[in-house]
Amino acid sequence: MASRSERRLWSRLNLGLVMMLGLMFLAWWQRPDNKLRVVVCDVGQGDAVLVSWKSYQLLVDGGPDNSVLSCLGKNMGFWDRKIEAVVVTHPQADHMTGLIEVVERYEVGKLIVANVVNDTSEFWRLRQVVEEKQVEVKELIKGDRLRLGAVELRVLWPKERGGESLAWKGEDELVQVLGEKTFQGDVNEVSLVLLGSFGKFDFLLTGDIGEKEERELVEELGPVELLKVAHHGSRYSSSQRFIEQVRPEIGVISVSKKNRFGHPTQTVLDRLTEVGAKIMRTDKDGMVRIITEGRGDYRVEVD
Amino acid sequence: MIYLVVVWLRFFNSFQTEANLRGLENKEIKLMGKISSEPILQGSSQKFKMGRIEVRVKQYPKYEYGQNVQVFGSLQRRETNRWYSVFSLMYPDIKVIEADRVKFIGFDWKEGLMNLRRRVEKVFNQSLPEPEASLLAGIVLGAKRGLPYEFWQALQRTGTLHIVVASGYNVTVVIGVVIGYLAGWVKRRTAVMLGILAIIGYTVMAGADAAIVRAAIMGSLIYFGQVLGRKADGVRLLIVAVMGMVAYEPRIIWDVGFQLSVMATSGLMFVGPLLETVFKRVWLVGGDMRDTVAAQIGVWPILLITFGNLSVFAVVVNSLILWLVPVVMGLGGILGIGGLIWQPLGQVMGWLAYVPLTMMVRVIEWFGSQSWMSWQVEGISWWWGLGYYLVLACLLIRRSYGKQK
């Protein structure tokens, strides 16, 4: 008959063994495959899109609160604490607030920013944590390219470099920048627009651009499989011409149930339906995940 | 008698404050003082207390417990009942006042502990994904600050919210560990005293909610009694704890956390032993089932009346996950300490803790998404609850009386 302490030791060892087996099972269960996943997170009234291939991740925007963290938890392996690149399409609260905790909790390879400053508490807080964790900040404009494993991304917008991205660099420049603030318009106008391609699968992430920017972009665009509908389906975006040109097979709208802006507008929904797009909405479907092998096939999952 | 006078005086005192504040309702007020509770994150806003007044501000900039601030806004009142209402300032102008240099001469224990807690939470957050990270923080520290809203709802619907409330179990573990490790090094009496100090520290760290304070008082008294060589009687300890807390702050009887804590403990004490024979035969989770049923019998009217829902299958969910709680606490403790020393060490422990945590999360999320999990019942009067407790008390008394015969 074993003594009490011996039995306790045995039961602890057993428990440890079970945990190790569980860990191995989970690691196997969440093992990366060769498919591209584009996830439009359900973050309420805001945007957060995760592009993931194998253990590479690109996060485009972070939503208005911390719900993006649960989305990352669901779509990344538990061992993976690195996000290769984070994009802030434009520094408005509904696109960047969640990124503050993302930068604090994950190892972020690069932070890619638009060239404007938005003088809000969220903006300065993000800048502060980016500096604390010494994340490399890069400003990209039209023509620049990004590579995420087998995924190729082209930056289509904004057109030109602004001076304000200096605000990310350090205190001295910051003072200068604030002294001669150059950008006067709506920050939505300089939203980063990304066109990604993985084999035969093309996806277009439009940030919050409006009709004016769409007009300039439309010439160089062709049909895409997936479109993140601009500005939560606002009436001032997704013009007839633009939608007809990109002819998305799936149009995802990131929007909250009750929002005071009346997003998404019926006109935009109709335009999408007319070109035969399947409409997915985070307010109705929750998180939307598109999985593809890049050979002309894809699968849409909701959660 | 003296006790009643004390309670009455305290009650009168707090009623006075209430009356004074009522006079200021809807008026612009300027408030200067310390943030007196750990700010809680809710969606894109944060909420904290300044004494009797709740303040809600935007999520950023972040405020911390103990900061000196000046707020300026219109005082709102939300009535709970005739004698008690919640006063709040919604999105006031807020300004941090630079701390007095003089103050830093003394060391603020409470602030130090809060700092430690923040650092441990940070370790959790950096080594685990959500919602596992905040579930761990909830189980180990009773921190509800970062729980994703959807997960919080799932916890409530499945009747498992109590696992993220620091309570009796945490106290047992804390004092057990301290005494266990000190035994042999110092005299038992000293070990117990240090254990009690650890409990007090832990209670402050866990935010000093009603549930943990009750557990801390009872736990300390049990061990203190041991030193004095007196045997502990659970019922008496509960009564002492309740009387002490009510004397200190009479309004606590309207605190839902306090009500739940007291009734759940009573359920465990009075109803639990009666269920022993039924659940004894259930393998592995029998004890958890017995405790859950006993606690549920104690608390369901409160849950029904305050929250308007009833988790019908709470027993099933609790039996599935409760046995993991001690494992998670152990691993979480090691992760917290290890991570503070060296982050990569924390990472490895984090992976181990992920296994039981994710099992709990999956179970809670799955059951939480089932519509048959909880029933919505609105508008039940307090009298029903009172009647239920009277009947229950009568039944219990008759039973114990019958036994004596």
Tell me the pLDDT band of B81, cut-offs 50, 70 and 90: low
pLDDT > 50? residue B101: no
Proportion of chain B above pLDDT 90, given as a percent: 7
Q: Cβ of A121 and B347 within 8 Å? A: no
* Backbone φ, ψ for residue A227 (5° rounding): -125, 125
Quote the CA–CA distance of B244 and B253 in Å, as a whole number. 12
For B:354-393, CB contacts with A below 8 A are 354-356, 358-359
Residue A270 has pLDDT above 60, yes or no: yes
Q: Which of A101-110, B134-143, B193-202, B349-358 is modeled with the greatest confidence?
A: A101-110
Instruction: Flag whether residue B14 sits within 8 Å of chain A, measured between CB atoms.
Output: no
Chain B hits for A23, Cβ within 8 Å:
351-352, 354-355
Distance from CA of B1 to the nearest CA of A (A): 50
pLDDT over 80 (residue A173)? no
Q: What is the chain A residue with the closest CA to B128? A: A78
B132: contact with A, CB 8 A cutoff:
yes
Q: If you average pLDDT over residues A102-114, what whole number do you get?
A: 92
Which of B127, B148, B327 lies nearest to residue A70, judging by beta carbons? Answer: B148
Q: What is the ipTM of this complex?
A: 0.85
* Distance in angstroms (rounded) separating the CA atoms of residues B292 and A230: 50
Residue of B nearest to A123 (CA): B60
Of A70, A81, A122, the CB nearest to B131: A70
Helices (H) and strands (E) in chain B, counts: 15, 9
Q: Which helix (H) or strand (E) holds B178?
A: helix B168-182
**Interface contact B150, partner A, CB < 8 A:** yes
Please enumerate residues of A whose Cβ is less than 8 A from a Cβ of B.
15, 19-20, 22-23, 26, 44, 64-67, 69-70, 72-73, 76, 78-79, 81, 93, 97, 100-101, 104-105, 121-122, 124-125
Contacts of B359 in chain A (CB under 8 A): 22
Contact B44 A64 (CB under 8 A): yes
- Whether residue B243 is predicted with pLDDT greater than 50 in this model: the reply is yes
pLDDT band for B275, please (50, 70, 90 cuts): confident
Mutate to test the interface with B, among A12, A75, A121, A258 (most CBs of B within 10 A): A121
User: From the CB of residue A34, how many other CB atoms can be counted at a distance below 10 Å?
Assistant: 10
Q: What is the DSSP string of B319-363?
A: HHHGGGHHHHHHHHHHHHHHHHH-HHHHHHHHHHHHHHHHHHHHH
* Per-residue confidence band for B389, with pLDDT thresholds at 50, 70 and 90: confident
Of A73, A122, A125, the CB nearest to B129: A73
- The H-or-E segment that residue B181 falls in is helix B168-182
pLDDT at B102: 47
Cβ contacts of B356 on chain A, cutoff 8 Å: 19, 22
More confident residue, B44 or B380: B44
Res A57: pLDDT = 94
| First-to-final CA distance of chain B | 33
Report the pLDDT averaged over residues A143-162: 87
Which of B46, B57, B59, B347 to mutate to test binding with chain A, by most A CBs within 10 Å of its CB? Answer: B59
pLDDT at B380 over 80: no
Stated length of chain A:
303
Contact A78 B44 (CB under 8 A): no
Q: Which of A12, A13, A19, A128 should be substituted to probe chain B, the one whose Cβ sees the most B Cβ atoms within 10 Å?
A: A19
Q: At what angle do helices B343-368 and B109-127 cross, to 10 degrees?
A: 80
Contact B164, B147 (CB under 8 A): yes
Could you please report the per-residue DSSP string of A254-267? ---SS-TT-PSPHH
Q: Which residue in the set B122, B133, B351 is minimally distant from A79, CB to CB? A: B351
> Scanning every residue of chain A, which has its alpha carbon at the shortest distance from the alpha carbon of B327?
A15
Instruction: Say yes or no: B9 contacts chain A, CB-CB below 8 A.
Output: no
Q: What is the mean pLDDT of residues B83-99?
A: 79
Residue A51 pLDDT class (50, 70, 90 cuts): very high
pLDDT band at A179 (very low <50, low <70, confident <90, very high): very low
CB contact under 8 A, A66 and B146: yes
For chains A and B, count residue pairs whose Cβ atoms are closer than 8 Å. Answer: 74
| Residues of A in Cβ contact (< 8 Å) with B61 | 121, 124-125
Disruptive mutation site among B41, B44, B91, B362 for chain A (greatest number of A CBs within 10 Å): B44
Residue-wise pLDDT for B146-203, tens only, equals 788 888 888 888 888 888 888 877 888 888 788 877 777 788 788 888 888 888 888 8
Report CB contact under 8 Å: A78, B146. no
Question: What DSSP designation does A57 have?
Answer: E
Residue B286 in contact with residue B279, Cβ under 8 Å?
yes
Contact call for B131 and A79, based on CB within 8 A? no
Q: Which of A209, A246, A240 is nearest to A226 (CA)?
A: A246
Residues of A in Cβ contact (< 8 Å) with B148: 66-67, 69-70
In three-state secondary structure terms, B161 is helix
According to the model, what pLDDT value does residue A243 have?
A: 92
Residues in chain A with CB shorter than 8 Å from the CB of B351 are 23, 78-79
Confidence at residue B107, expressed as pLDDT on a 0 to 100 scale: 63
Name the residue among B77, B91, B92, B76 with its Cα closest to residue B31: B92
HSE of A22 in the Cβ direction (CA atoms, 13 Å)? Answer: 16
